[in-house]
Amino acid sequence: MELRVAEGKASSPKREIRSLRARNHRSLRNNLLESIAQANGGSVVSQVNEDGVVRMKLLVRKQDLRQMLEVMRGHGKNISQQQSFSSLSVEQRLNLLRKKQLLRANAAAKESRRRSWTPQLQSIPEEF
């Protein structure tokens, strides 16, 4: 097993993958918050990245904030039908697009690992 030394610390490939996944998850969540805020008429006032921690200030109405928190927690069922059709459909589409993009990227990575080398010439069929 290969250990990599980065910034004076030895780290295993599994640990690197876990940290990369966590970083991607935080990034995805931040992008989702920005998209939700913009879809609901709000905006991102400021954003600061410090030591892997992202701090954001969002300007939204209280009602939209409650709705965003319910969606993020998975309790979107408590929202009235009028609100769910207008704003949740946008959020669901964003999530669906992101999931599809991740699935395509994973499939492409698996495909490239599966077929590492193939010969350039095809075999010549023999005639009988």
Q: Between residues 39 and 17, which one has the greater pLDDT? A: 17
Looking at the DSSP bridge assignments, the partners of residue 6 are 9
Give residue 53's region: left, alpha or beta (phi > 0; psi -120 to 50). Answer: beta
Q: What pLDDT was estimated at residue 100?
A: 82
Q: Between residues 22 and 88, which one has the greater pLDDT? A: 22
The domains of the chain are located at 10-94
Sign of CA dihedral 20, 106, 27, 76: negative
With a CB cutoff of 8 Å and minimum separation 6, the contacts of 33 are 44, 56, 58, 68
Distances (CA, A) of 5 to 11, 13, 59, 107: 6, 11, 42, 29
The whole-number average pLDDT for the span 96-120 is: 79
pLDDT at 83 over 50: no
